[in-house]
């Protein structure tokens, strides 16, 4: 579902030429105008989720969602470190009860206490839950503490789930519907067709004793399939997919003014800003008289790119609802529009090739300074350097005039950051763990 808001602003003044700028903004169904959201969720803390899955997901740069039974969790320092890297540590209750067999008061205790314990141990909000045995809790209780909860009905949700407190997932492994790499691939393609939200439920991996084990090489191939296809699939946490879809449905755009040089707009929603602050991706057509564009929200430059999709050229940009006025302005630096290249569905992963380890982008954060360097290229001297945090929020964005180097003072909280250096269709990316 693409929501299109058509806004027309007409201004006229005596003595000035009358100008009428028609502009239409679209909110992406999924972050970055990707076709589907994909969440890998892991239950019960089975051993190989840490020893085998985590390295696969870390090297791909994909976050995992770990639904944790607080009574069973043994290594909170590992979970905390993973949360700081951008993985989601979420609730799977205190003692893994069947919610169909306990009282309302017991349900309340399980749901409230697991949240409190996780927040204390991890130091971040715990916003989502997965029902043990996929048996729902009472809506009136689950909705007091969480923004969404996972069940396992076995289908791929549409872009808006039927019930945020029973989001469907597909069980992976020998007792589930997804047993092989081919099954993973079919699920991805179906999710893209319906612009949907695909959630996998994983327990055991290889022989760690967990329920319905999946062979690690099948899991690994599914991850390697997605790596070159990230312009198509948004591999994200259960929390982020929930936030994005709710914000996208609640957002309202108001055009404040429009002329040949810039558009000024507001994006608002009625959701609680302390929780719902995931950036939404918007786009409008790049006017033919604009060489490129810069986008600011609340006077800070935000992530934007000029991208060609089919024959149209768009300005795509990330903004947070209720976080200040947005200005999309003409920029006279000409850029070549980016074109996302996505391998065809049938092109298989080459398992002989490991994930790329060569990083052309070098990033060093030391003594409060961030130094970024990239291969010198004499034909490009204007670069944009962008640093996102693990939630996709922009923490730094600069236009740089240099052919291979950027340095600036940088004070940031611990965690995972994503660095991008780009110019037109050329982009370098690297991760930074502080």
Which residues have C-beta within 8 Å of that of residue 190, sequence separation ≥ 6?
156, 196, 198
The interface with Zn ion within residues 396-415 (CB under 5 A) comprises none
Cα distance between residue 253 and residue 355, in whole Å: 40
Q: Is 88 in the site for Zn ion (CB under 5 A)?
A: no
Q: Minimum Å distance from CB 121 to Zn ion?
A: 19
How many whole angstroms separate alpha carbon 190 and alpha carbon 202? 19
Tell me the closest approach of the beta carbon of residue 310 to Zn ion, in angstroms: 44
CA angle 157, 213, 51 (to 5 degrees): 100
SS3 label, residue 183: helix
Phi, psi of 109 (to 5 degrees): -60, -45
Our CB check for Zn ion shows the closer of 63 and 210 to be: 210
**C-beta of 127: minimal distance to Zn ion in Å?**
19
Residues 116-175 that bind Zn ion (CB under 5 A): 132
What is the C-alpha to C-alpha distance for residues 239 and 128, in angstroms, rounded to an integer? 6
Closest distance of CB 135 from Zn ion, Å: 11
Closest contact distance (angstroms) between CB of 256 and Zn ion is 49
From 41-49, 140-148, 330-338, 382-390, span contacting Zn ion (CB under 5 A):
41-49
Beta bridge partners of 420: 386, 429
Give the nearest distance from C-beta 132 to Zn ion in angstroms: 5
Closest CA to 124 of 416, 423, 431: 416
Compute the distance between CA of residue 77 and CA of residue 80 in angstroms, rounded to an integer: 5
CB nearer Zn ion, residue 150 or residue 246? 150
In whole angstroms, how close is the CB of 393 to Zn ion at the nearest point? 32
Which CB, 27 or 167, lies closer to Zn ion? 167
DSSP states of 244-281 as a string?
HHHHHHH-EEEEEEE-SSEEEEEEE-SS-TTT--PPEE
Name the segment binding Zn ion (CB under 5 A); options: 31-39, 43-51, 97-105, 281-289. Answer: 43-51
152 vs 251 by CB, closer to Zn ion: 152
Per-residue buried b or exposed e for 246-258, using 16+ beta carbons within 10 Å of the residue's own CB: bbbeebebebeeb
Whichever of 69 and 416 has its CB closer to Zn ion, that residue is 69
Residue 327 is given by DSSP the state: E
Minimum CB distance to Zn ion smaller for 43 or for 218: 43
Residue list 342-371, contact with Zn ion (CB under 5 A): none
Q: Minimum distance from CB of 134 to Zn ion (Å)? A: 9
Q: How far apart are CA 103 and CA 22, in angstroms?
A: 57
Segment contacting Zn ion by CB under 5 A, of 38-46, 257-265, 368-376, 423-431? 38-46
Q: Cα dist. 243→240, 257, 276, 351 in Å?
A: 5, 29, 6, 34
> Which residue, 43 or 247, is less far from Zn ion as judged by CB?
43
Q: Which stretch binds Zn ion (CB under 5 A): 39-47, 106-114, 272-280, 421-429?
A: 39-47
Q: What's the CA gap between 388 and 158, in Å, rounded?
A: 28
Tokens 């755009």 — which residue?
253
Q: Please, what is the minimum distance in Å from the beta carbon of residue 96 to Zn ion?
A: 6
Smallest distance from Zn ion to CB 99, Å: 12
Q: Which is nearer to Zn ion, 46 or 349 (CB)?
A: 46
Question: Contacts with Zn ion: how many residues (CB under 5 A)?
Answer: 3
In the complex, the smallest distance separating the C-beta of residue 93 from Zn ion, rounded to whole angstroms, is 8
Give the nearer residue to Zn ion in terms of CB position, either 87 or 422.
87
- The piece of 15-23, 35-43, 141-149, 286-294 that touches Zn ion (CB under 5 A) is 35-43
Report which of 70, 128, 127, 65 is spatially closest to residue 96, judged by C-alpha positions.
70
According to CB under 5 A, which one of 26, 35, 43, 58 is a site residue for Zn ion?
43
Per-residue buried b or exposed e for 402-426, using 16+ beta carbons within 10 Å of the residue's own CB: bbbebeeebeeeebbbbbbbbbbbe
The residues that bridge with 202 in the sheet, in sequence order, are 42
Q: Choose between 150 and 278: whose C-beta lies nearer to Zn ion.
A: 150
If the CB atoms of residues 47 and 250 are measured against Zn ion, the closer one turns out to be 47
| Residue 44 engages Zn ion in binding (rule: CB under 5 A) | yes
Q: Select the span of 37-45, 161-169, 314-322, 371-379 touching Zn ion (CB under 5 A).
A: 37-45
The residues binding Zn ion (CB under 5 A) are: 43-44, 132
């Amino acid at each position: 579902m693409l929501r299109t808001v058509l806004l027309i602003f007409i201004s006229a003044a005596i003595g000035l030429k009358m100008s009428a700028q028609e502009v239409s903004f679209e909110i992406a169904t999924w972050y970055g105008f990707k076709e589907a959201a994909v969440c890998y969720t892991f239950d019960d803390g089975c051993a190989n989720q840490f020893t085998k899955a985590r390295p696969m997901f870390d090297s791909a740069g994909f976050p995992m969602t770990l639904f944790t039974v607080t009574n069973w969790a043994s290594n909170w320092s590992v979970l905390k470190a993973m949360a700081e890297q951008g993985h989601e540590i979420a609730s799977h209750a205190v003692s893994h009860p069947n919610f169909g067999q306990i009282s309302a008061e017991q349900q309340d205790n399980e749901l409230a206490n697991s949240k409190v314990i996780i927040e204390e141990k991890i130091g971040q909000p715990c916003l989502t839950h997965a029902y043990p045995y996929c048996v729902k809790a009472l809506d009136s209780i689950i909705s007091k503490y969480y923004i969404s909860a996972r069940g396992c009905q076995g289908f791929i949700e549409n872009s808006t789930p039927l019930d945020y407190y029973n989001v469907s997932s597909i069980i992976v492994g020998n007792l589930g519907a997804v047993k092989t790499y081919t099954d993973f691939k079919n699920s991805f393609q179906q999710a893209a067709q319906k612009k949907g939200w695909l959630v996998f439920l994983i327990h055991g991996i290889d022989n760690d004793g967990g329920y319905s084990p999946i062979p690690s090489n099948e899991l690994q191939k599914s991850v390697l399939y997605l790596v070159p296809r990230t312009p198509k699939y948004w591999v994200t946490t259960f929390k982020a997919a929930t936030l994005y879809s709710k914000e996208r449905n609640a957002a309202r755009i108001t055009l404040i003014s429009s002329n040949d040089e810039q558009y000024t707009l507001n994006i608002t929603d009625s959701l609680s800003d302390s929780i719902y602050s995931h950036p939404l991706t918007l786009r409008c057509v790049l006017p033919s008289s604009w060489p490129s564009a810069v986008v600011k929200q609340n006077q800070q430059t935000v992530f934007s790119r000029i991208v060609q999709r089919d024959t149209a050229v768009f300005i795509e940009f990330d903004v947070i609802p209720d976080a200040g006025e947005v200005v999309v302005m003409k920029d006279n630096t000409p850029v070549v529009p980016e074109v996302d290249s996505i391998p065809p569905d049938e092109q298989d992963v080459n398992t002989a090739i490991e994930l790329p380890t060569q990083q052309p982008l070098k990033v060093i954060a030391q003594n409060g300074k961030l130094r970024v360097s990239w291969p010198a290229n004499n034909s490009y001297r204007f670069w944009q350097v962008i640093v996102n945090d693990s939630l996709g929020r922009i923490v730094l964005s600069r236009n740089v005039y240099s052919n291979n180097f950027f340095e600036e003072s940088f004070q940031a909280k611990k965690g995972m950051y994503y660095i991008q250096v780009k110019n037109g269709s050329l982009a370098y990316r690297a991760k930074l763990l502080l």
